[in-house]
A and B are shown apart, each in its own frame.
Chain A
Amino acid sequence: MAQFPERPSAWGGLATLLDTPQKRYAAIAVILVAMAVAPYIFGSYGTVILTNALLYVLLALGLNIVVGYAGLLDLGFAAFFAVGAYTVGITTLHFGLNFWLALPLAVLLAIVAGVVIGAPTLRLRSDYLAIVTLGFGEIVRITARNLRETGGASGLIGIDSPWLFGWHIRTPLDFYYVFCVLAIIGVIASVRLANSRLGRAWLYVRHDEDAAEAMGINRVKVKLAAYVVGAIYGSIGGAFFAANLGAISPESFSFRQSVLILMAVILGGMGKIPGVILGAFIVILAPELLRDFGDLRLLIFAVGLLLIMLFRPSGIWPARSKR
């Protein structure tokens, strides 16, 4: 394939700003300090919003592995989020399990769900997967609404907040820092995955499935791996979401939730981590800024998504194509 010189872009200045490791370390230090002091600047309401944004960063990073890295459209991502939240809710409430034991169980169940739904469908046409995941998301939500164990339509309340080495994670500020740590771990894991053998296989499968297969990549296995990693992110986000709010209900895991997470991935720029983080913040902060528009908010989002797909299909801050 012919190589084209990289097109100078509005973000070119930013790229040169971060061209040496020292500058990059300095930028990371600035971001970490900003994260640490942000709650004291934005106040208690701002902290809750930021915590929510960080949760979305985590979820969007997970979906980004499915959509951005492996190129599979998943319209039911909220299902994994729900599996994580409900596993923690049910096991801690009904069986008195410790949160830190419920968490790995939640991840395990999400992996099982990911394999059960992914293994048969990932062989099919890629657009079938989109609809199947949509149906799967609805199955999970309706099941949560109809079962007695999940608390029916009103959901579960009174989920305990966890202890960590004598620290009771309880206040909004505590949870803000927990989500900071989760988001940072999520970013590091995403970067490491993208640069791994598996990450290169995802890139290859996304660009040309048949050529990838001819090179000896098992495309079903590779896609399933993406699906399962996404499920792990989703379930961890769900587990901490349940612990944070102490209450969950089926409507937190509707199709709209899946769409919002997907928007976070697409608006910022599929496949690139800064873009996904930007997208997650847009999805959470824009409704706060557009509060005056009421019901129009979702319409504005939807029109924005359509315009981006038509005029800037790789997002606001897209991935630079690598050699």
Chain B
Amino acid sequence: MSIFDIFTNQLLNGIVLGSFYALVALGYTMVFGVVKLLNFAHGELYMVGGFAGFLVLSFLAPYLGPGWLGVAVSLVLAMIAVGFLGVVIERVAYAPMLSAPRLSILITALAVSLVLQNGMLTLTKGQYVPFGAALGFGGVKLGNLFISYNQMILVGVAAALMLALELFVSRTQYGRAMRAVSVDKDMARLMGINVNAVIAITFFLGSALAAAAGSMAGAYYGSLWYFMGFLIGLKAFTAAVIGGIGSIPGAMLGGLILGLLESFGTQLPGVGSEWKDVFSFSVLILVLVFKPTGLLGKPEQERM
């Protein structure tokens, strides 16, 4: 393969990977924007989303088949189910803690993440679960580059979801309320905005997007594991920080940048794929040191 072929191949890999990171990073950034909380459990919602999609698909497969139709329907149902799970988590675990010291909220979020992770460990006995989708292996060949239909649809769906979110936040009344709450929660309440409802919608959307990424990852890679949310949670956080935490376009950009950095980074001499994760965490630390506000973020003061 020529250098050019390696380049285009890694570009494609980076875009696919980046779409997953961007979808999960959006949830981090939205929740952070509205309640100033780092939702450690967010990566687990991606994992639960994958399993929810698997569960729905195994019920629907006899009627709709394990192909695109079945996967699409199970994707939507998994998004709705995990969206509600996110709202429940917020109500049960985070809402009582929002005025507590920051350390307590962080530990609570960690506890939620451990409950979800170990709950799934108990259910699956720590085994890998095959996703069971049959999406086919067709694709288009451009020169030496092979782009599968799966990759195209995956990136297309991710882009469509992000576009829909952007339109929701910028054009609708709820989106405006969300932006108002993220600027000043107390003032928004005085203006008659139902802050609790806005927080619930934010958690619903963020969790649903993570579930979408989880289901698609399950269908794309073909298997699920209770621990799959841990790493992507960290990576998505990195993506959100690169883009500027709290900024929705920033999360999309950050996801894409991280995906590309990872796929090109592993091609550097001395950085094999076994160093991939070290590479991205080093990027995280460097960004936090040199540009903690990220590419599109605004400088922010620590809550007092």
Contact of A309 among B40, B108, B241 (CB under 8 A): B108
A residues near B302, Cβ cutoff 8 Å:
125-126, 209
B residues near A134, Cβ cutoff 8 Å:
234
Residues B285 and A120 in contact, CB atoms below 8 Å apart: yes
Residues A139 and B234 in contact, CB atoms below 8 Å apart: no
Contact of A142 among B114, B117, B118, B275 (CB under 8 A): B275
A residues near B110, Cβ cutoff 8 Å:
75, 259, 262, 305
| Measured CA separation A100–B237 after assembly (Å) | 41
Given contacts A121-B289, A125-B302, A128-B292, contact A310 B93 (CB under 8 A): yes
* Chain A binding surface, main DSSP class: helix
Q: Which range contains the number of A residues in contact with the other chain?
A: 35 or more
Return A195 CB to nearest CB of chain B, in Å.
22
Question: Which of B115, B241, B282, B300 has most A Cβ within 10 Å?
Answer: B115
Residues B122 and A121 in contact, CB atoms below 8 Å apart: no
| Measured CA separation A135–B97 after assembly (Å) | 25
User: Using an 8 Å CB-CB cutoff, how does the interface string of A292-321 with B read, 1 for contact, 0 for none?
Assistant: 000110110111011001100100000000
Residues A143 and B115 in contact, CB atoms below 8 Å apart: no
Return A167 CB to nearest CB of chain B, in Å.
41
Given contacts A146-B274, A295-B125, contact A302 B114 (CB under 8 A): yes
Residues A139 and B93 in contact, CB atoms below 8 Å apart: no
Residues A131 and B234 in contact, CB atoms below 8 Å apart: yes
Determine whether B111 belongs to the interface, using a CB cutoff of 8 Å to chain A. yes
Given contacts A259-B114, A306-B112, contact A135 B104 (CB under 8 A): no
**Size of B's binding interface in residues, CB under 8 A:** 44
Determine whether B119 belongs to the interface, using a CB cutoff of 8 Å to chain A. yes
User: Using an 8 Å CB-CB cutoff, how does the interface string of B129-150 with A read, 1 for contact, 0 for none?
Assistant: 0000000000000000000000
B residues near A132, Cβ cutoff 8 Å:
284-285, 288
Given contacts A135-B281, A302-B111, contact A126 B118 (CB under 8 A): no
Contact of A135 among B40, B126, B284, B304 (CB under 8 A): B284
Return B29 CB to nearest CB of chain A, in Å.
14
Within 8 A of B (CB), among A38-83: 67, 71, 73, 75
A residues near B93, Cβ cutoff 8 Å:
306, 310
Determine whether A33 belongs to the interface, using a CB cutoff of 8 Å to chain B. no
Residues B114 and A124 in contact, CB atoms below 8 Å apart: no
Residues A73 and B126 in contact, CB atoms below 8 Å apart: no
Residues B234 and A309 in contact, CB atoms below 8 Å apart: no
Return B40 CB to nearest CB of chain A, in Å.
8
Given contacts A121-B288, A309-B108, contact A138 B281 (CB under 8 A): yes
| Measured CA separation A134–B234 after assembly (Å) | 8
User: Using an 8 Å CB-CB cutoff, how does the interface string of B270-304 with A read, 1 for contact, 0 for none?
Assistant: 00001101100110110011001000000010101
Contact of B121 among A71, A262, A295, A309 (CB under 8 A): A295
| Measured CA separation A313–B101 after assembly (Å) | 10
Determine whether B96 belongs to the interface, using a CB cutoff of 8 Å to chain A. yes
Return B32 CB to nearest CB of chain A, in Å.
9
User: Using an 8 Å CB-CB cutoff, how does the interface string of B38-55 with A read, 1 for contact, 0 for none?
Assistant: 101000000000000000
Residues B107 and A299 in contact, CB atoms below 8 Å apart: no
User: Using an 8 Å CB-CB cutoff, how does the interface string of B86-121 with A read, 1 for contact, 0 for none?
Assistant: 000000010011001111101110111011011101
Residues B104 and A313 in contact, CB atoms below 8 Å apart: yes
Determine whether B84 belongs to the interface, using a CB cutoff of 8 Å to chain A. no
Residues B278 and A130 in contact, CB atoms below 8 Å apart: no
| Measured CA separation A310–B285 after assembly (Å) | 31
Given known contacts A138-B281, A143-B278, A145-B274, what 10 new A-B pairs fall within 8 Å (CB)? A135-B285, A142-B277, A209-B302, A259-B110, A295-B121, A302-B111, A302-B117, A302-B118, A306-B93, A306-B112
Top 3 A-B pairs, shortest CB-CB distance: A135-B281, A302-B114, A306-B111
14 contacting pairs across A/B (C-beta < 8 A): A127-B102, A131-B237, A135-B234, A139-B277, A139-B278, A139-B282, A262-B107, A301-B114, A302-B115, A302-B119, A306-B111, A306-B114, A306-B115, A313-B100
